Every structure is written in C-alpha cells, then in structure tokens.
Structure 1
C-alpha cells in the first residue's frame, strides 16, 4: 500500500465523525434521488401484471381510469352498471373467446364481494397457458351464496372451507360493523355466504376478493327478472386481435357502454407520472448538489487538520501531485461509501414502500429493480464530489512545508 493511500485511510479514521456525517449526507441524497422512481416502477409493473389476463374491459360510460380501478383493482366506485342483455350479446358474439361478468356492490370486512361466473376461473395469460387463477383448496362455486375466497382475504379474514359470513351493502366496511363481521347496523344481507374454495396467491387484486356467482348479486339486490339484472363490467377476450378492436369500436359507437384498453389507460397514467418524475428528477439534482456541497465543506474543513500531515509528507519528499491525490483519494473513498450505502438504502426503502403501497392498493408489487439508468443518477455524485474537492486539493498541494514544520 503506497504512502498516500495509507495516509488517506489514516486521515479518514482520525476524522471518523466528519466521515460518518459526510457519508450519511451522500447516502441520504442518493436514496432520495432513487426511492420514488423505484417505487413508481414497481407500481407500473404490478398494475400491468394484474391486467394482463384479459384484452378489453367493457363498463358503463365515464372515466376509463375509474372503470379500471373499480372493476379490476376494486379501489373505486364503479362508473355505473350494464344490462344483462349487453353482457349476453358480448358472450354470444362470434369471435368471443371469453366474456366474464363482474357484479360489485357488497363487501365483507372491507373486502369486495364480486359476482361473476365459472369463466372467471378460465382466464389465461395465453390461450395455451394453464388458468391464471388456481383453486388451492376446495372447488369453484356451483350454487348461489357460495364463495371462492382470494388468498389474502382468507388469511386476514380468518376464512376456511366451510366458513360462513354475511355480506354488507356497499364497497367499504362501515364503522358500525364490528370485528368478525358482527352486525351492529341494518346494512347486512340476511342470507349467509359459505366458503367452498380458496384461491392460490397471485399477487394481484383478486387475492382480496370474494368471488360468488353473479346470480347471487342479482338475488340479494332484488334483480329478479332479466329486465332488471345488471352487471358492473365485463372482462372480454377475443379469439383474434382484430376481434378486440371490432368489439371496441362497436361498443364505443353506442351510448350504453364504453370499451377500455388497459394498456392505453396505463400509458396515460405513465405520461402523468413521467411529468411528476421529471419534476422529481430536478429536485433530485438539487439534493445531489447539496450533497456535493456537503462533501466540499467536509474536505475544506479537513484542510486545516491536514496541513501538518501535508507538510510532513512534503518534507519526506512527497510531491505536489501526491498531496493533490491524497485529498482526492479521501474524497473518492468518502463519496463512494456514501453512494454505495445510498443505493442499498434506496433498494430497502423502495422495497418497504412498495410493500406498504401494495397492501394499500390490493396487489403485490414486484421487488424493486435498480436499473443502470437510475444508478447513473447516484454514480454521477462521485465525479461531482471530486469536482467539489478540486479547490481544497489544489490549495493543499500549494501549501509550503516550511509553514507547519
């Protein structure tokens, strides 16, 4: 180990307090610059994964985003209802591979009760793939008021095969509803549901859904005749790609419903997020600049402490470039430690944030992926820190050894 490097490491050890403060400042700046973009990308991937089992969403006219968040993620109120007739037309139309009705309106402990049919369990990522939703225990429903519970609601609601409960009207749990679903108000339906199946975890919003025959929804809401029966939305898949666009054009040409392409909604949301990320990127640069200023202050404040060491090195024959390299070497070690710690901290924070946000949104987010494009933001702090250290390094190199010996 050469003299300059040994001296740099020893100097950092002597100034351990200042080193820790500078490293933490760099680490926090790095984590601040990366955490939000990492979480945002987790949400994008998780949302797209949750929507890839169907081609088209047919819902009542209104906001496409609201239709998607209500019928796919169960996070919003539906835009309205569709007639059973429209659903049957979609189901029986030539070229239809699958038309899955959804009926919303009730909940149990805040988890949505979703009316549908057996076709729901036949949804696939690709035609030749196995069904996306697999029953881990029991079977799919075969009669009204039977429930196939998602993995999360079964776990958090304490539901097992044979468990019974009463649903409450509305999409959210009411304050008067006690633990265990005890009825303290008058918004509960009289007939109990029975759990006959529990789904394997998917990481998607269906993990927190309670699936029951669509006929159950019609019965509990008094929709006894075909003229009164309604569905909230239809998940549509066609045999051919052209059939998807033909169906979408036909639906959007009318006034009763709208056809929503999930990819287009996600693209629009991504554009909005991109604008926010651009502003955040500017803020990140400011934070990284402050970190570079902290590095400069740390190097500058150490100059006084380093003067006798520099004078001794010069007296022992070290040249100006050696002293110059000593200062830059200390800075390089400090900033690199801070950046590495910041990268690790960003991954940990985004993982925790993604878990909390995923629980809130109702689907599991994939682990954060630290791409080179994001890492470069943090790695740019290394040359920025070295640039900030140039003036103190030049000043140290120009110090005469006679002044301090």
Structure 2
C-alpha cells in the first residue's frame, strides 16, 4: 500500500526524491572531493624528497617544482648546488631549471637522474619513456603524455620555446627560432603534473639564454642612444633569471634520515637557499583543504536539513489530500497503527530512494570534478569507496524517519480523530 501510494503521485514523489538526492550528493561529493584531492596530491609528490630552492614561499616552491604551477622564486647559485651535490651525505641530486614554456606547458630543465626518481625505495622508476628515448644532449626534449596529446607533437618534431610560465605572456623571438628543441621521447601517462611537462637537459636553458643575451646586447648597442634607456631586458624577473649562473631548484636524496635532518637545518641556516620537505608543506595545505571541506560540509548538512523539512511538509500535505482514503481504511477494519505504519513506510521509501539516487549522483559529481582537475592540473583523483558515507546515510535515514514519524503521528492524532468524530456525528 505504501509503494502504491508513492507510485500514485509521480510528480510529487519524483520531486521529493530529487530534493533528497541532490542534498545527499552535495554532502557526499564534498567529503569525497576533499579526500580525493589529498590522495591525488600525495600520489603526485611521492617521488620527490627534500627540495632546495631560493629563499621565499615554501608553498610556491613546492607548487612550482612538483605541480608545475605558480612562478619560480628565483635561482640558487650554481656553486651552492655543486657543494650540496658533492656532500658525502647526499646520495643523489636532481636539478630543475624553470621559466620557459611551449603553448603554456612548462619546460623543465633537468638531467638523466630525473628518470630514476621513485615513489619509494625498491619501487620501479616513476617516469618511464613509452616512445623514443631519453634526452642525451641539449635541445632534446621528452614530452609528458598530456603535453604530447594536446600539442600534437611526435618524436622527431621540433618546437620553439617562449619566455615565462604562461602561454599568454610568452614571447617567441627570432633568437629562439635559431635554437629549437627536438622531441626525442614521450613519457608514459603518470596521471600527475609530470604529464603536462616538457623535460630537457638543463644546459639547454643556459645556452638559449646566453645566446639571447648576446643578441639582445648587440641590438641595444646598435639602437639609437635615446632608445636604449627604454629597452626592457628580456631576462629580467623571476621567470627567467640568470640561468647561466644558477638553477631554479634541485631535489636532494640524502643517504639516511640523520643526514636528511642535518642537511635540512644547514641549508635553511645558509643565506643562499631554503630546504623544504614536501610532506610538511602538503600537510599544511591539507589542513586548509580540510577546514574548507568542513565549512562546505556544514552548509551541506544545512541543505540536507531543509530537504528533510521539505519531505515532512510533503507528507503533511499528502495526509491532507488522502484523509478520506485513511478514513475508508479505518472503516473497513484497519487499525490506527496499521494506517500509521503505512505512512511511516512511505516515508522510509522516499528517504531510501532519495539516498540511493544521491549516493549514485555523488559519484557522478565526483567524476566530473576529477575530470576537470585532471585536465587542468593533471592531478589524478582516484575513485574509492567512502566508508564514512555509510554512517552518514544511515544517520540521515534514521533522522529523517524520526522526523517524518513524529510529523505523521501529530498530524493523524489531530486530523484523523477529528475526521472520524465529524463522520460519526
């Protein structure tokens, strides 16, 4: 009888179920997205150890080096890099030179040790070539999977880089065209920001910018004297810097934990650079994400409470409409308890179907969010079963049922008894 009551009012029933479903999807998708972003960021940063860069924002250094976002802070002196590299406590050092792009995709100057980075000891290399080979000399480039897909570049193609970290601010010049890059390899998809990178030998940066500085210097000497003061320097700013005398950042793999702590303290005490542990910085970011998720979650619970109230009002209106039907049920022998349970079961069906559709809808919303973040940032948000969703749905079902039952009880007590007395009289 309860199921037939629901089917007899498709518009009202569908609207009620949709309100519950949207509210549930909002609540679940917020918590899932928060956890998914955390897992994606952790997976992306797994191959990186301690990162050393110029003094400045720790978060900016992490986002620029690992996630290929934001602007480079500046350069670390090459002598300092060589000193850390030669330190007996260091097992491996991987350099990073940043500041150029091709169609908005960051060009990362590094060396062959980049392709030996691993997410944990004993694990296979995190970055593997699927087509072609690694770069072996300057101006040979290895593309991330996403970069190759979006730009259409293939092994053997050439391209010209631009200054800056974004395509709209890039400045392609004739000097660049004299020193193009040749694609020699394409990496296997990693579902990390590496997929959006272009990896070249760091000496490419040096030669390119030294050549451009020489050309620019000759142009300034040949220009009229009244124009020299107004000529901007093409290598000014943190996006470019003097790469021939430094490097943007470098990754340090110490031999052990004790060596890691010693180097961390010594580097941060020096005036040349700062050492950052990605886990600590990402932990702070996760706290901010968690706080934001809690605020949005509170809003979602408020929306859900409004949905429960809406269901109660719908049930109340339904009782008003079906008052004669309930009277007929009483007249043919149905007890008040029987009628009461029919109404309660109707509420159970509404909440159950609403939660079921809402749970499914939350994964659809999560899929869209994961796709958008993956396309924009190349951070993979994995699909997972949210164990916390089970108790949330159960709590909602119990709470909704309690509110609906109380509403139905009060309504029947005041209206059904009243109707019976009117009919009897």
TM-score with structure 1 length normalisation? 0.91
The reply to whether residue 109 of structure 1 matches residue 103 of structure 2 is yes
Aligned to 1:180: none
Once structures 1 and 2 are overlaid, which stretch shifts more, 58-67 or 32-41?
32-41
Q: Post-superposition shift, 1:187?
A: 8.3
In structure 2, relative to structure 1, the CA distance for the partners of 1:291 and 1:37 (3 Å cut) is same
The reply to whether residue 28 of structure 1 matches residue 28 of structure 2 is no
SS at 2:210 equivalent: coil
Work out whether residues 162 and 170 of structure 2, in 8 Å CA contact, stay in contact via their aligned partners in 1: no
The reply to whether residue 100 of structure 1 matches residue 109 of structure 2 is no
The reply to whether residue 387 of structure 1 matches residue 402 of structure 2 is yes
What are the within-5 Å matches in structure 2 for residues 216-365 of structure 1? 216-222=204-210, 228-365=244-381
Q: Post-superposition shift, 1:370?
A: 4.0
In the aligned structure 2, how far is the partner of 1:297 from the partner of 1:126?
A: 56
Aligned to 1:168: 162
Deviation digits for residues 161-180 of structure 1 (CA, Å, limit 9, x no counterpart) = 10101111111112788xxx
In structure 2, the gaps of 5 or more residues are: 214-241
**Which of 56, 65, 71 is the matching residue for 2:59?**
65
Work out whether residues 32 and 386 of structure 2, in 8 Å CA contact, stay in contact via their aligned partners in 1: no
Work out whether residues 168 and 189 of structure 1, in 8 Å CA contact, stay in contact via their aligned partners in 2: no
Aligned to 1:4: none
TM-score with structure 2 length normalisation? 0.87
In structure 2, relative to structure 1, the CA distance for the partners of 1:118 and 1:175 (3 Å cut) is closer
SS at 1:194 equivalent: strand
In the aligned structure 1, how far is the partner of 2:49 from the partner of 2:316?
A: 61
Judging by fraction of residues, say which structure has more helix: 2
Deviation digits for residues 270-301 of structure 1 (CA, Å, limit 9, x no counterpart) = 11122222222221221111011111011001
Q: Post-superposition shift, 1:229?
A: 2.3
In the aligned structure 2, how far is the partner of 1:53 from the partner of 1:154?
A: 22
SS at 2:168 equivalent: coil
**Which of 192, 211, 228 is the matching residue for 1:204?**
192
In the aligned structure 2, how far is the partner of 1:27 from the partner of 1:227?
A: 55
SS at 1:216 equivalent: helix
In the aligned structure 1, how far is the partner of 2:402 from the partner of 2:174?
A: 70
**Which of 39, 52, 57 is the matching residue for 1:45?**
39
The reply to whether residue 137 of structure 1 matches residue 131 of structure 2 is yes
In the aligned structure 2, how far is the partner of 1:228 from the partner of 1:160?
A: 29
Alpha-carbon RMSD across the aligned residues, in angstroms, is 2.1
Aligned to 1:3: none
Work out whether residues 69 and 76 of structure 1, in 8 Å CA contact, stay in contact via their aligned partners in 2: yes
Deviation digits for residues 292-325 of structure 1 (CA, Å, limit 9, x no counterpart) = 1111011001002221221222222222211111
Aligned to 1:371: 386
SS at 1:144 equivalent: coil
In the aligned structure 2, how far is the partner of 1:175 from the partner of 1:103?
A: 18
